[in-house]
């Protein structure tokens, strides 16, 4: 089984991060009886000094180079990923997409309606590359901006409603789509280092949201248990 992580700055991580991708690799390694691979066209972290994804300074020395693959970008959203997902799924023979997108779209690029349309385009494009691809989509977790910007908070809420509708409309037994639950207990003041990007506790909670959704709906793996 071949997994691809798709996301924005919360998924790519910055130099010195563990990333929730690492936490998910730990989980899959411990619960999957069958061989699996993490695949994608990129493998770097974002380097704030260089303002580019050029760092390989992961905090975990046991995170193997072959498991660091992803399709994530600092400042990228559904708008950016919809045009490239088909090529990624084709090139890397992806079976399962784990997707965390939307916050950057709503914050800088598109309103909730257009963001939801871009999410639907992403789903359609992924299926052109693999008609049996599975997807797990994480709702937007409003960041610290939503506490002082009511219109932005409302857009986050509306997008999550539209995303849930898209999942209900487009779910297919041949190519199932799951809408993961908001990570249990996630608190942007405790689980992030800046009100947006996850710290270690937030990384575990994000990984758990994906892991538990797959286990509960598909019987894939097992319940998430945090590891050091």
- The series of mean pLDDT values per 10 residues for the chain, 228 residues long, is 98 98 97 92 97 97 96 98 98 98 97 98 98 98 96 98 98 98 95 97 98 96 90
**CA gap 133, 93 in Å, rounded:** 9
- Return the pLDDT at 33: 78
- pLDDT tens for each residue of 88-120: 999 999 999 999 999 999 999 999 999 999 999
| Gap between the Cα atoms of 74 and 80, Å rounded | 11
Q: Which residue has the tokens 């997008």?
A: 159
What is the maximal distance between C-alpha atoms in the chain?
Answer: 47
How is residue 140 annotated by DSSP?
Answer: P
pLDDT tens per residue, range 161-181: 999 999 999 999 999 999 999
Backbone angles phi, psi at 177, to 5 degrees: -125, 130
Count of CB atoms within 10 A of residue 173's CB? 5
214 HSE (CA, 13 A, CB side): 24
Burial of 180 (0-12, 13-18, 19+ CB in 10 A): buried
Query: What pLDDT is attached to residue 227?
Result: 86
The separation between CA 29 and the C-alpha centre of its own chain, rounded to angstroms, equals 18
Q: Return the sign of the alpha-carbon dihedral for residues 13, 145, 186, 103.
A: negative
What is the predicted pLDDT for the residue at 200? 97
pLDDT confidence of residue 228? 80
């Amino acid at each position: 089984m071949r997994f691809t992580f798709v996301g924005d700055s919360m998924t790519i991580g910055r130099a010195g991060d563990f990333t929730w991708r690492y936490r998910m690799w730990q989980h899959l390694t411990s619960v999957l009886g069958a061989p699996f691979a993490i695949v994608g066209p990129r493998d770097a972290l974002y380097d704030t000094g260089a303002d580019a994804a050029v760092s390989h300074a992961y905090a975990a020395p046991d995170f193997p180079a072959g498991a660091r693959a992803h399709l994530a970008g600092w400042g990228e959203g559904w708008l950016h990923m919809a045009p490239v997902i088909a090529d990624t799924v084709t090139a890397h023979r992806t079976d399962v997409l784990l997707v965390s997108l939307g916050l950057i779209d709503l914050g800088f690029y598109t309103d909730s309606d257009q963001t939801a349309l871009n999410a639907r385009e992403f789903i359609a494009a992924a299926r052109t590359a693999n008609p049996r691809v599975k997807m797990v989509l994480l709702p937007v977790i409003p960041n610290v901006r939503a506490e002082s910007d009511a219109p932005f908070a409302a857009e986050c809420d509306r997008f999550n409603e539209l995303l849930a509708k898209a999942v209900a409309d487009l779910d297919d037994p041949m190519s199932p789509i799951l809408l993961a639950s908001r990570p249990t207990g996630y608190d942007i003041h405790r689980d992030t280092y800046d009100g947006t990007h996850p710290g270690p506790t937030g990384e575990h909670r994000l990984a758990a949201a994906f892991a538990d959704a797959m286990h509960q709906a598909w019987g894939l793996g097992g319940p998430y248990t945090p590891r050091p």
